[in-house]
Amino acid sequence: MDPKHRQILQRHRINLVETLNPADICDGLLSKGVITQDMIEEIRSKTTRRDQARKLVTDLETRGSRAFPAFLECLRETGHDDLMELLQSGVGAHQPVPIPVQPSVLIPLPVQKPKYTEIPDRPDLTPPRLVPLRPGTLPVSKPLSPPSETPGMKPSRQRRDSIQSYKMDASPCGMCLIINNVDFDPGSDLKDRKGSNIDCDKLERRFKALNFEVAVKRNLKCKHIRHEMSSLAKRDHSAYDCCVVIILSHGTDANHNRFPGAVHGVDGPVVPVQIITNYLNGQNCPSLQGKPKLFFIQACGGDEKDTGFEVSPDEVQPSLGGTDDQTDAIPMSSSSDSLSTSDELDARATLPTPSDILVSYSTFPGYVSWRDTQAGSWYVENLDRVLEQNAATDDLVTMLMMVNDAVSQISAKGLYKQMPGSFNFLRKHLYFQTSQS
């Protein structure tokens, strides 16, 4: 959907939820190819009309460029003129939005042989055949087969807007656990993580604004990290739609099958990221089955320092990091330089990967993650900014790509780079609650 149309739906969501009766327009939207029968059944499964309307509006935001004008047309056809005019006012009250249609197949008339015309038959395999014209008639073109049904042609990609969205309207939306390890034991050989409290404060405010119940735990030893995850898994999440875990710590690399990385307790030992995610999988936490579990890891994935590669000046807008940048990794060898500090890599574990999990890493596996002791980490700073500016209109995966792009353009000491990334096992789009929802 065009961003400006999505913003109009967001702006008038309260009016739509209070007034709209989805039963009046679902059939029209189905006939126009905007929603599917499965989506209608999911909308009808909601117990109240308001919930049905909220679900319909949320689904429309994911249904491509034709959804908004088709929605206006259905409102007009069913007598919801007031709602139609309200939405049209955002794009010009006196300029109705036309419904885009597929262009008609034009049948060219030949110049040299006026008694014949060309009809596309098997354009992928054979040249057009000629069909004689009878006086006063035009040939009826044979409908072109969909690409997926035409022999010899590569099937087209599935439309992005065919993916449904997770339910995210509970209040509060879910639990958000933040583990912020700053002060490390002297015997751990890990330096204190100056600047991490800045990250923690930003993310606490941000996820409260996204209607999460936030709990912050500071300076946890390895066994206490496991204890907090176990306690979170034992909670009843039936009334929630989502769960978020944020870990700010040193990290290290390790063998893995699925999720890379491990995070350090303040006493030194590590907990693999895979083990952390397993606490909330469908087997260990049944009340989160089918619901999104999100993990954000600000820790290193290794001790490699990325110097990047040269590109055209038009491709990036370089940004220098702070003057006091540190990494969140421990060097793997005995040698070190003036930039090497005591934060570690992210480990990898060996258990099966459940569905509905997304793990977002501050850096590519094997590489360091940079943190400014005065401004916080590059990753968290940009994650917070992107969520603030785009959560009302964009899904989580799209926003994480924005974070990737922003962080990739920063340079530490004018030399070193960082590339965030994620392991995504979500099955649907995820849109956070915002004040505009």
Q: Give the C-alpha separation, 265 to 32, whole Å.
A: 55
Q: Is 26 a catalytic residue?
A: no
Rounded to whole angstroms, what are the CA distances from 178 to 100, 242, 246?
46, 15, 5
Q: Would the CA dihedral through 121, 122, 126, 127 be positive or negative?
A: positive
Q: Is 434 exposed, middle or buried (0-12, 13-18, 19+ CB in 10 A)?
A: middle
| Residue 3 CB neighbour total at 10 angstroms | 10
Residue 144 near residue 105 (C-beta atoms within 8 A): yes
Q: Give the C-alpha separation, 100 to 183, whole Å.
A: 59
Q: Is 271 exposed, middle or buried (0-12, 13-18, 19+ CB in 10 A)?
A: buried
Backbone angles phi, psi at 22, to 5 degrees: -55, -30
Q: Is 173 a catalytic residue?
A: no
Residue 242 near residue 177 (C-beta atoms within 8 A): no
Phi-psi region at 413: left, alpha or beta (left = phi > 0; alpha = psi -120 to 50): left
Rounded to whole angstroms, what are the CA distances from 120 to 126, 127, 146, 394, 405?
9, 8, 13, 40, 44
Going by C-alpha positions, the residue among 310, 177, 325 that lies closest to residue 242 is 177
**Cα angle 155-130-133, degrees, rounded to a multiple of 5:** 125
Return the DSSP state at 394: S
Residue 396 near residue 333 (C-beta atoms within 8 A): no
Catalytic residue among 5, 12, 250, 429: 250
Residue 192 near residue 182 (C-beta atoms within 8 A): yes
> What residues act catalytically?
250, 300
